[in-house]
Amino acid sequence: MSALPLAALATALALGLAACATPPPVAAPAGGPPNEWSGRFAATVHSGAAEPERSSGRYLLRADGVRAELELASPLGQTVARISLDEGQATLVTADGKSIRAVSAEALTEEAFGWRVPLANLADWLEGRIAQPTEREGERVVAGVERGWSVRVEAHDGQRPRRLALEWPVGARPGERRLSVRLMIDEARRAPWQP
């Protein structure tokens, strides 16, 4: 599939949904919009093989404008990788010290995994902002497409997204290579952070 295993790809996506106990509701951020999200992810790669490849874990995303940091962990909480994004640079560092650098998140994920993943858009999606809405519930956007991805907010906690489903590429047919990612937002908050 690529230079790094699926577990690293899934971790790099930082998306999550676990089938365990329901966590407490997403907290409303104090002092402005959130700049930190944490939760669980599950990723599935369908490549036409008999069995899809699956991976899951936990994520912590911090974002401030063009700067972001994504920390990925195993289901047991061990840090697996850290991705840092800044204007003109993206860096992936794995737990074993392997480092990959590129000019953007998409270039980084393509080099590392063979997929162009728009990690820079993740904070917007976690807030329910999707560039091309395709479905609404009243004023709230619940589905849309952006950068070749289908984004659907499957559940809300008040006005905040609680669970998302992402599919790439948009319109993939059965048997075609595709990536499915689900993410559960356990907490969204405003926190001090200096990248």
* Residue 184 contacts residue 17 (beta carbons within 8 Å): yes
For the chain, helix (H) and strand (E) counts, in that order, are 3, 11
**pLDDT value for 24:** 46
The per-residue pLDDT for 54 is 92
User: Alpha-carbon distance 40 to 22, whole Å?
Assistant: 12
The conformation of residue 35, written as its DSSP 8-state character, comes to: S
The letter for the amino acid at 91 is: T
Query: Which residues neighbour 18 within 8 Å (Cβ) at sequence distance 6 or greater?
Result: 40, 42, 56, 75, 184
| pLDDT of 39 | 97
* Domains detected in the chain: 11-77+117-189 (2.50.20)
Ranges of residues in the chain whose predicted pLDDT is under 50: 1-25, 28-29
Which among 83, 117, 88 is positioned nearest to 104, based on CA atoms?
Answer: 88
> What per-residue confidence (pLDDT) applies to 195?
65
